[in-house]
Structure 1
Amino acid sequence: MKFQGTDAYVATDDLKVAVNAAVALERPLLVKGEPGTGKTELARQVSQALGLRMIEWNIKSTTKAQQGLYEYDAVSRLRDSQLGEERVHDVKNYIKKGKLWTAFEADEKVVLLIDEIDKADIEFPNDLLQELDKMEFHVYETGETIKAKVRPIVIITSNNEKELPDAFLRRCFFHYIRFPEPEVMKQIVEVHHPGIKEKLLTTALTQFYEIRETAGLKKKPSTSEVLDWLKLLLAEDMTPEDLKRDGANALPKLHGALLKNEQDVHLFERLAFMARSQQPRR
């Protein structure tokens, strides 16, 4: 069972090594990187490439680790008991299975994605240590132990918004998805926009990387944003000449696809103003 990438996802050699190492070690794969670098999509592509079902757990700031195991609805049970419902006698009727439970009870190997783990409370990763390590947990209301029938492939993503506990990191195989170099980016673009003209692509990517390297930029545009930008350029039938910028017009064409906050827009406007003020008067 080896991951070699897919036609729809350009995986670098080091990323393929990381996925296959995590599978071989039976450890969760912790994937970090800038937003928009394909971390979540990686899990989907691993699932597709290996022919495995994917179970996706999207983490929010309010998500608790217990929700991934199960939730016991005591309120509903109390209400049913007051109404004399027959189902009240079986506590299992009030237990809602979480994503880990679903993955553990699968008869076949599945891919379990725990997406954006750094959004949750700092204690969230620690609360899942034993469950992810031993691949089992106890249900106190029923007295049963749920143990993985087949150990799932666990992929955990993080946008690096907060540090994760050392004890959690020790149990993971770690990989950082570096931002793609221009040559790799061209391969990614070719997957999404096949047949794009070489000159337009070169001009657009040159401008894109110049924008990313602009000093003072608050949010660098990501891979997903450059793909959106190129889609717009193609829809508008723009040429390389249309993309040319000068000091007086520092904002890129259709900049709303690349610049996502007013500070960065103002930064380019200031750069344009400074360039105009430095131009010799006629």
Structure 2
Amino acid sequence: MLGRTAASLFWMSRYVERAENIARLLEVGYRMSLTERSEEGTSEYLASMMLAAEVDEDFAKKHEVTDVASVAHFMLFDTDNPNSVKSCLEKARTNAKAVRTAITSDMWESLNSTWLHFSQIQPRQVLGNKLPGFLQWVKQSSHEFRGALLGSILRDDGFAFAQTGGFIERADNTARILDVKYYVLLPRTSMVGGDVDIQQWTMILRAASAHRAYRHVYHDRYKAWNIADFLIFRKEMPRSLAFCVTSVTAMLGMLEQVYGEPSSCHDDAIRMAQHLTTGSMDKVFSEGLHEYLTGFIASNNALTTSISESYNFY
């Protein structure tokens, strides 16, 4: 497979996943903002969400007040924001169009119809209480594309590249969702263990589609220790860091078998997986949750670079 084809499949899947993940992050920030008494319309929780997503500086260049309307428009519709849902869907469609013969009709139709529908929506149509429903639609559209991918494409190198991109992006998002909670709690340690704290942790779990799964595994109250462990180390949780990195490792191993030669990026992924396997919450909290998560995000980005170099994406 040509490097540019592999790159398009990788980034096609990654941008679809990112569109869903931006919706998840925005949902966390939005629902948390409903529990606060903001001054002058500015929401601390929405600001924390954008800080974790690393788009806070770009937002500040265009907006003075961090309110729901401004943040929602910036995160959903603003094409000056390269990580807005609209930007992500457009780039995913462009990559899919470039490899139209390498993907199935179901995949293309799912992605193309999502883009066409999104393009017709006006920002004013999803304000207020309509925002959660729209965010749910974005997530559902991503699920439909993923279902088309899993249900119709050959299990060959194209499948491996697409899956690798999706899992790397998902791991990045889970780390950022957890980091939102860090930024929210940082100035208010007195809230830890209180009703608001528990409510916020519940929102974090819901953003990761992990609320019911968490209750199935842990039958006691919501605890920061257990929730962080669930979203970082539990391999049976499909959005955990451990599950995503293990899946990336498996896909890169599949590519080695297809091409019959080893790759340095596979070794990098194995080291990341081993670091998670040997890790523990004692180590995480002794290092600092924020420091651990930012370190993981940096390693995840480095793995993307390694994959790009190994398979000539450039």
Length-normalised TM-score, structure 2: 0.21
Higher helix fraction (1 or 2) = 2
Higher strand fraction (1 or 2) = 1
Which of these two proteins has the greater Rg computed from alpha carbons? Answer: 1
Length-normalised TM-score, structure 1: 0.22
